[in-house]
Amino acid sequence: MKKVKITVIRKARYDDLIKKYENPIEHACDMEEGTVYIANGWEKPDNFCDSAWETISPFVMTLAHGGEDIYDGWMKNKKSAMISCNDGFRPVSFYIEALEEDAQ
């Protein structure tokens, strides 16, 4: 299996939706743009959001096992994908890419 690099590309926040639909919460997300995580094969990286991992892990698994061209020509790098977590109020977009070195 290959290691997979996960980079936090963008955090969005939809205050109008939060105000209209969400119960107030104090803390939602620790992700910071530019942060890089390395998944050792299909293992969730330390300190990675559990909810985000549930969303992106199938794509990480595909890339870790050598899959490519997930979006049938959409991505410039066939060994990558752009995936967002499923938080409709403050989604985080991740660029995931297979690394050439194998996981231990």
- How do residues 56-101 score in pLDDT, each as one tens digit? 999 999 999 999 999 898 999 999 999 999 999 999 999 999 998 7
Look up the pTM and report it: 0.90
Query: For the chain, how many structural domains are there in total?
Result: 1
Percent of the residues in the chain that have a pLDDT greater than 70, as a whole number: 97
Calculate the CA 71 to chain-centre distance.
16
Tell me how far apart the alpha carbons of residues 42 and 40 are, in angstroms, rounded to a whole number.
6
Q: Which two tokens stand for residue 72?
A: 């049938």
Q: Domain span at residue 46? A: 2-102
Phi, psi (degrees; rounded to nearest 5) at 50: -60, -45
DSSP-derived secondary structure letter, 45: P
